[in-house]
Amino acid sequence: MTTREPVPFTQWDEPEGEWTLPGACPVRSNRTLMLEAAARFLFPTVLVFSVYLLIVGHYAPGGGFPGGLVAGLAFVLRYIAGGESEGAEIGSRFVVRPPVLMGLGLLVAVVSALAPVAFGAPVLASAKVTFEIPLVGTVDLVSSLLIDIGVYLLIIGVVLDLLRSLGSGIERDAREAAGEEAGP
Amino acid sequence: MSTLVTLPVLLPILGAALTVLAARSARTQRLIGIVVLAAVSVVAAVLLVAADRTGPVVAELGGWPAPVGIVLVADRLSALLLLISTVVTLAVLVYAIGQRISDYGRETASTTFHPIFLLLSTGVSLAYLTGDLFSLFVAFEIMLAASYVLITRRTNASRIRSGMTYVIISLTSSLLFLTTIALVYAATGTVNLADLAGRVAALPEGLRTLLSMLTIVTFGIKAAMVPLHFWLPDSYPNAPAPVTALFAGLLTKVGVYALLRTQTLVFPGTGPSAVLLVLAVLTMVVGALGALAQDDLNRLLSFLLVSHIGFMLFGLAVYDARGAAGTALYIVHHITVQATLFLVSGLITRRTGTVSIEAMGGLARRAPVLAVLFAIPALTLAGIPPTSGFVAKLALLQAGATGGAATAVVAGFVVLASLLTLYAMVRVWVRVFWGTEKEPLSDDDPTDELVVGTARASRPMYAATVALVAVSIAIAVAAGPLSAVTEKAGADLMARTPYVEAVLG
């Protein structure tokens, strides 16, 4: 009697291509094509939209906090689409670790709050630069945008840290607990 | 000068950002924390001198004048409390660093402890300095959010459970505070304290009483005023010693400060307040009697903390310049001594391995330094002359004696509660430091909260405790100039005009 190599169980709709980051989700049957494809297209779009919210925040609804949350949602979408491995990558693959992002955001915000003092203005004062861009129109840039950028970075850092500690961290704990029970 | 007022709030945030970025170097983190808090202490001292000489220092954020913009105000009271709070925070940080080196090793860096500790300091500074009700809410939230982290980290299930009580109570009081702010804004159209001072007077009597009572309940929960104190003895003792010391020293006192500020500036009364007098008596007596029933050293100290909140309420309830001055002086004394006692309790616990008073004994012979370090703040808390406690209590008793018949009666309760405090402290002394020597207990059962196991205490922990004892002695030595400042602060609070004119111009 000959033993055959076990044929991996496949289904017709199992995704073949690399829709998310290369190497994501090694277990192919755990992948969902729809979500992965959608995440692939939505991720940059949502990020651009978050930057839009960040910039218009001075005059219209938006600002650093909503912008940061929307950008964070883009990462949440990736995490859900990419599953476990994507979660682990949030901790390891990014060049900038989430706490550093948080610290950087806080630093930018505090420094831009104190910066006006160097120009003889009160703390948290803001200056405005208005210039014309052809086809776009008049653009107002306000120095308090820097504080918003700080908050934006801070919020992204917080969301990534949550994904790392509460997302993939809990999955890892669950895996370890299951491994212990299966052991002797 | 106005930039200086913003530094106690901004520097700790800056420090928090830098300690997060320096998460890999424990040494850098420690250095940043100590440098930032030392700098804030210096700034607070400068502000105190400036406020004492030339009146309140006001910073209009972004150049927007009050009542539209947010203002930070450092008058005599807030600058003085800011100074003593920051000095105590610095000492506690040194102690905490020492404890972390003993427990986790010299190279253990953390992305949470140092940033969160500094954020807590930001919240405390903002609470003292802010000139509007909503920023006060933000300050409390920063402080509480940081305290949630400190009380529940590196801990076990039973401590998380008692931490949950703390979180839920604090969230409830925050909700109540937010509701109060909404009602105040709906009634007056402003949240600026100086502006409110003028507008609340125009409100109908009933509405004014309602808003005033709401703030008393809100800040009463935060200050652990009886009958809203029940959460405190269950949650504070479960945190590590430096965290408990910080919470006991600062957080409840910030609640008392908020009460003092709003009751004098926004809801001024005429003469002694019956409600506050009754609450003060209840707080003093219930806290002191509760302390007598405790076997756990930290719980005992927590009940004494509640009892002494009553002393501060009494000064406020007398409602004149002397009373307010007495409360201010008492807050200064109590922040120092209560933090010291919890730090000493941490040192005692590390030597005996237990927090149970019954299981300790004969410590005076084995650890004479510890005995001295405990005796001084214990006598200070009880108010034995010539300690700072005596100076502060004397100010309160004088206010009570001149305030009328009702306040004179309550002043009697102050003496009673002081005697009960002395009794509780003597009981601790006899059980813990005298008697037969008992062997230190090792921590065999981690779920047992009374036996926590012994540990080495490093040199910075002793240094920080000694420094705080020295501060409380210094308060007694400098009682003359200090009470001159608090008397002027009390007069400012009652007159209201210096604050209002400085803010609204």
**Residue linked to tokens 């959608």:** A38
In terms of residue numbers, what domain contains B482?
A: 2-504
Q: Which of chain A's residues have a Cβ under 8 Å away from the Cβ of B21? A: 100, 103-104, 107
Q: Helices B297-318 and B388-402: crossing angle, nearest 10°? A: 40
What residues in A contact B16, CB-CB < 8 Å? 103, 106
> Chain A partners of B19 at a C-beta cutoff of 8 Å?
103
The answer to whether B376 faces chain A, any CB pair under 8 Å, is no
* pLDDT attached to residue A21: 52
Inter-chain contact B61–A114, Cβ cutoff 8 Å?
Answer: no
Look at A123 and B21 and tell me if their CB atoms are within 8 Å. no
**What mean pLDDT is reported for chain A?**
78
Nearest to A107 among B6, B21, B62 (CB): B21
Residues of B with Cβ-Cβ distance to A109 under 8 angstroms: 13
- Tokens 């320096």 locate to B22
- Give the pLDDT score at A22: 46
Nearest-neighbour CA in chain B from A29: distance (Å): 37
Whether residue B462 is predicted with pLDDT greater than 90 in this model: the reply is yes
What residues pair up with B172 in beta bridges, in sequence order? none
Tell me the average pLDDT across A25-45.
Answer: 75
Q: Are B437 and B362 in contact (CB under 8 A)?
A: yes
Q: Which of A123, A126, A153, A162 to mutate to test the interface with B (most CBs of B within 10 A)?
A: A123
What is the Cα–Cα distance from A89 to A97, expressed in whole angstroms? 11
- Average pLDDT score over residue span A77-85: 72
Q: Which of B20, B59, B62 sits opposite A102 (nearest CB)?
A: B20
Q: How many angstroms separate the CA atoms of B428 and B440, rounded?
A: 17
Asked if B363 and B347 count as a contact pair (C-beta separation under 8 A), the reply is no
B485 half-sphere exposure, CB direction, 13 A CA radius: 26
Give mean pLDDT, residues A41-50. 92
Residues B20, A99: C-beta atoms closer than 8 Å: yes
Mean pLDDT is lowest, of B58-67, B141-150, B193-202, B437-446, for B437-446
Higher pLDDT, B88 or A95: B88
pLDDT given at position A84: 57
Dihedral-angle region of residue B453 (phi above 0 means left; psi in -120 to 50 means alpha; beta otherwise): left
Complex-level ipTM:
0.86
Q: How confident is the model at residue B131 (pLDDT cuts 50, 70, 90)?
A: very high
Radius of gyration of chain B (CA): 22
Among residues B451, B185, B493, B202, the alpha carbon closest in space to that of B319 is found at B493
* Residue pair B309/B223 in contact by the 8 Å Cβ criterion: yes
The total of structural domains in chain B comes to 1
- Structure confidence at residue B442 (pLDDT): 77
User: How far does the CA of residue B111 sit from the closest CA of chain A (Å)?
Assistant: 7
CB contact under 8 A, A107 and B3: no
Give the residue from chain A lying closest to B11, CA to CA. Answer: A110
- The overall average pLDDT reported for chain B is 92
- State phi, psi for B104 to the nearest 5 degrees: -115, -5
| pLDDT, position B446 | 63
Say which DSSP state B195 is in. H
Is residue A184 over pLDDT 50?
no
How far apart are alpha carbons B173 and B180 in whole angstroms? Answer: 10
Nearest chain A residue to B5 by CA distance is A123
CB contact under 8 A, A106 and B13: yes
Residues of B207-217 as b/e, b for ≥16 C-beta within 10 angstroms?
A: ebeebbebbbe
| Model pLDDT, residue A183 | 47
**CA dist B349 → A148, B101, B357, B441 (Å):** 47, 17, 10, 10
Q: Show which of residues 427-446 on chain B sit within 8 Å of chain A, judged by CB atoms.
A: none
Nearest Cβ partner for A114 among B10, B19, B59:
B10
Question: Least CB-CB distance to B20: which of A106, A122, A125?
Answer: A106
Does the beta carbon of B158 lie under 8 angstroms from any beta carbon of chain A? no
Q: Are strands A137-142 and B71-74 parallel, antiparallel or unpaired?
A: unpaired
- Facing A121 at nearest CB: one of B21, B59, B63: B63
C-alpha separations of B439 from B153, B350, B436, B451, B462 in Å: 30, 13, 10, 12, 22
Which pLDDT band holds residue B456 (cuts at 50, 70, 90)? confident
How far is A125 from chain B, CA to nearest CA, in Å? 4
Closest chain A CA to residue B65 = A122
Q: Which of A88-97, A104-113, B188-197, B259-268 has the lowest mean pLDDT?
A: A88-97
The DSSP result for B311-373, as a single string, is HHHHHHHH-SHHHHHHHHHHHHHHHHHHHHHHHHHHHHHHHHSB-BSTT---HHHH-HHHHHH
- How near does any CA of chain A get to the CA of B138, in Å? 16
For chain A, the domains span: 31-182
Nearest CB to B63: which of A103, A111, A122? A122
Which of B18, B59, B61 is opposite residue A107, by nearest beta carbon?
B18
The closest alpha carbon to B147, from B243, B225, B241, belongs to B243
Mutate one of A96, A101, A106, A108 to test the B interface: name it (highest B CB count within 10 A).
A106
Of the candidates B85, B109, B111, B84, the one whose C-alpha atom is nearest the C-alpha of residue B97 is: B109
Residues of B in contact with A122 (CB under 8 A): 2-3, 59-63
Q: What share of chain A is helix, strand, coil (3-state, %, to 5)?
A: 60, 5, 30
Stretch B309-322: mean pLDDT, rounded? 93
State how far the Cα of B374 lies from the Cα of A54, in Å rounded to an integer. Answer: 55
* Residue from A170, A151, A158, A166 nearest A73 by CA: A158
Do B181 and B193 form a contact (C-beta atoms < 8 A)? no
Sorting pLDDT into bands at 50, 70 and 90, what band is A15? low
Contacts of B20 in chain A (CB under 8 A): 99-100, 102-103, 106
Could you give the CA distance from residue B205 to residue B3 in angstroms, rounded to a whole number?
39
What pLDDT score does A31 carry?
65
Q: How far apart are the first and last CA of chain B?
A: 16
Partner-chain contact B18 A103, CB within 8 Å: yes
pLDDT at residue A18 tops 70:
no
What is the mean predicted confidence (pLDDT) over A45-72? Answer: 92
Contacts of A121 in chain B (CB under 8 A): 63
Percent of chain A with pLDDT over 90: 27
Radius of gyration of chain A (CA): 22
pLDDT band at A59 (very low <50, low <70, confident <90, very high): confident
The DSSP letter of residue B57 is: E
* B interface test, pick of A102, A104, A108, A110 with most B CB neighbours within 10 Å: A110
- The residue of chain B nearest to residue A105, with distances taken between CA atoms, is B17
Q: Does B17 touch chain A (CB under 8 A)?
A: yes
